[in-house]
Structure 1
């Protein structure tokens, strides 16, 4: 197993490998239409300290230097960390359970190994290796790098997408619990969203607590005069007034005389601000922590939850510190204070407080913020592009826009774009009489209302009588040349995927995305709900929007574009940061809005013959050879189709194939028995366990470093209707050879049957 990256540290050695790296790198260069040494494919690496040495395929890499990227979206990477010193525990320090659960530490071998697939999360990633030396010292080493997109230029296209989304819907790009993050700069003016506050506090938490402790241990104080009553023998300084009182009451030994003494007090303006700031931060942190635990319980790992509890306990300990009992209430920042700006401890608390009250700007900065995955961002951006193109073609600023779209709070922390009628944007023109005449409307993700016999969508009088249908974008053009208020419906689906690149250099959309548009058109019907009136097809056309490239003249000759004229289903390339990318889509919309009369559009509609059925299952499939062993344990279980089987693989070693298996990505398991297949199982549970913790014969010798991948298989289903074993091509699983293969669908698997 060749290591792409090798980082040598005094405590450990990190190896990163990827079997498909060269293919992925070439594909990224092809999709972006750049040379393989282009700046679009560069990344930079940073790490803690100056003692570590990083190499890429044997070539030394300087810290912070831009070099060809290793990490890309939707790609499996294997990490192998071998410790040189004795370590009692090691893990990847991350709040994400799906990342931490992919790693396993073998203390006997002193190895931490695992897999990461960043999915559609692109941006900066920090691999934090946490380990405890045998002496008890716990260290955390951070290794940072870029995770690039394959289909878009991460360095320029992503900024364009975010800028367009933020201009329409501020904060919609932000997300939480992602595997990558992005830099942002703070702004002194504007509101402080909760997610911004949380990300900022994560960065300043330790220094804030440390600064408060410094102040509490050595606070600033001031001299105050305090009124007291003392007997004559306790008076230390006599004023003329006191002298007169002494003469007057010289016969009264118990008489008390009023005087003032100087004392040191901590009840200062600065300490009142400190008390207020600590209490506010504690209350805010506890409130957000409770919301995170309530809404992200399955995403958080145990160490992250423990860390939140420790931080809460530390903040509460400071809030209820005896020091603050003698400090009064803060009454506002009504004066300047050099102590807050320059005093030891005070200045740090004040700087952190100002930072926590900032807004944000998604420009390059030193702060970290997590964004939605690129597929979701691309979908929202496509909706905005279609909406803006329609408005521009209808007259730009002259058209009256009723933008009903809005954001909704998602899980009480981040925002999502409202769907269905809540996302509708209506375009109208005002007549000379002042009345509004509707021209078009655009809807994002029309919702469904389930009924007894049909599912009603957000498109007026439109139903699905089988299963719910969820196109990304709906465009309805209102016509009056055949019937007043008659609407033509067109569907768009934004797919952040590219199927292939044809011989003319044109990117092609995925086949399943085109098939989806066929299904949409055949599934959605117009039902006027009037007696005697039949239901009719509602959708005239369906189109894929995908981040493809190619010259306009070449795209026009591609099948996916020519099919639009023939059957009104096809695709349009649409890339951000590319002025000419939307030209074909704009020309098509212009033709629909201004050039084609309704009668011609309706006459061009072809009769529907239905779509081909598919047996594809959603999810990745792992096919594995099962031998007839001596005990016939697995062999008999699979032959008898037991409903629940606990299956574990062979021993994991750095040299065998199992070390490369990203076991957590699979949803289905297919046993290959004597080169034949019959059943497919759902993978209910998957983990890494020691062999000694699994069932075994009493007295059997098992090595301490014997680690296995364990899967719980449930709910077997037949792959084909005959319910018989079907032979596979021998090239996939040669006789008497154990092996495994990955398939993306049942259709792909069955294509290899004999």
Structure 2
């Protein structure tokens, strides 16, 4: 609530006015005359916008002159420690992106009603290469200064007779003889000679580059100094200012090199220079300059500079935290350089064939590759992932490519907000609209796979999660996260990610989640495959009335139940191919990590039985599976199990998988080689059994969770 009381207001002069640039702010205030006074009052709701706010107003004083006053104050969040968060974020950003957290051209203030439209002149991933560009730039400057390009030029000058050297022309000899005869000893004579000159177009270009870089850096440093004087400005990091000063001094040192004393001003080139394109040092500066110039031009052309808002800073800090986790020893990824492949232009805009072209690349020895991108834009024309009707721009996209070229995508959206309902919960919660946005992203982004004249559409987003600065106790297991059940069930949820001086303290749950997603299984030396992820419940949600399967001919090879104590008719039904069902304990499949989703996907069963008069096992028939049910043991009869148990048996209440069969048909050739001592199981595809006659030759699927012995 704001109340401004203007005394001695007669009504003859213009009324006081709120002069804020947003109409919504002006309309929030009302005037009321109280006697000879005027009361201007209003209420502002800043919502989740934090930072410095300016409230300007004007009025006329007794001498009829207009007075302009600005009230400035800092808006702090009610549930977050903004100062601590900012220090942790600044510390990280200054180490990786020293320029990104500064906004140019008067970025929009945080207000009660305005949408923040920041003027983001520096693409984040370009800045990731800024330091590298500077290093390459300076390295090539040093190379060319040690071996500068020069050329032979003719020099005409006049000298006295005593300074003439070398062989003289006949005409000059005659002229000298004539002058000496006339006693003209002090005349000067025109001479022409060739000398090596450094004043070449290429060296003029290098000098221009150094002068331009020095000038633009100087302008930017002046802006930084002016910004630090403002009472409501975030103080620029001393390390950042020191870094820029250091580079400017280095450029000054190069400009004072003796080589440039005889080099003139650059006036362009009439044709392409092979020196700039091919000569060592020169070609390096030429290539780096075209990209480096973009940053310097933006810096030097600004009229003001300020800090980006906390929500923008938090977004990039979250991006860097995910990058740091991927590079941790627990996950073992290695970062490789990624260069965008430009394929065309649309006006001033560069178009990419892949929306994730400009991104970080992480690789691992097992063949897993991860691309981490900041704010890629998905549109109706982007490939291979596109959207319909509207474009979408998630904050962070993480795409995993497995050894078999299969791809999965995770999205993260950073929100520097906490839900008001957190007061009623043991944990800080993310605002509900952030979860709504995760549903929107997963539904909107579609992967297009060309298939002849047609194309195949599929959901591209495997999981979408909001990130927020919740001060939750992350020393508890990951299951303690309020959103854990939703993450496992539907792939939608949130993780608290709290900026902290101790990097791991505020991101334990997210780090544990990523380790769970990408850590290899010790008992499985093979690389990660898509099968492991496609078994998750969140990947198995179909449209109503449909089924979601990955292998339409998934086949289970399994040994029959022990014959001892079972009905002979039941045993013979498997040997003769007349069995109508098969059962196995749920506890047994859970023990070998055989996922429920894999079992319910089984469409065929191959069951090995003991060969008469031998201990060897053999499978001759394959049964189509009509249904797979999870039932209680006491609900099964002797025809289904071959053995009768009563309700007093401890196994009576155990859960069992019941496979109901259609008519069996013979395999192309019997399969042998089953273990004679253990109960065994493998998952494979029916088409892979055409030429298989031994169990150990069967090619398994869902191998990341597969164990043989039950």
Fold in common (TM above 0.5): no
User: TM range, normalised to the smaller chain?
Assistant: 0.3 to 0.5
Higher RCO structure (Cα 8 Å, ≥6 apart): 1
Report the structure, 1 or 2, having the larger strand content.
1
**TM-score, normalization by structure 2:** 0.42
**TM-score, normalization by structure 1:** 0.39
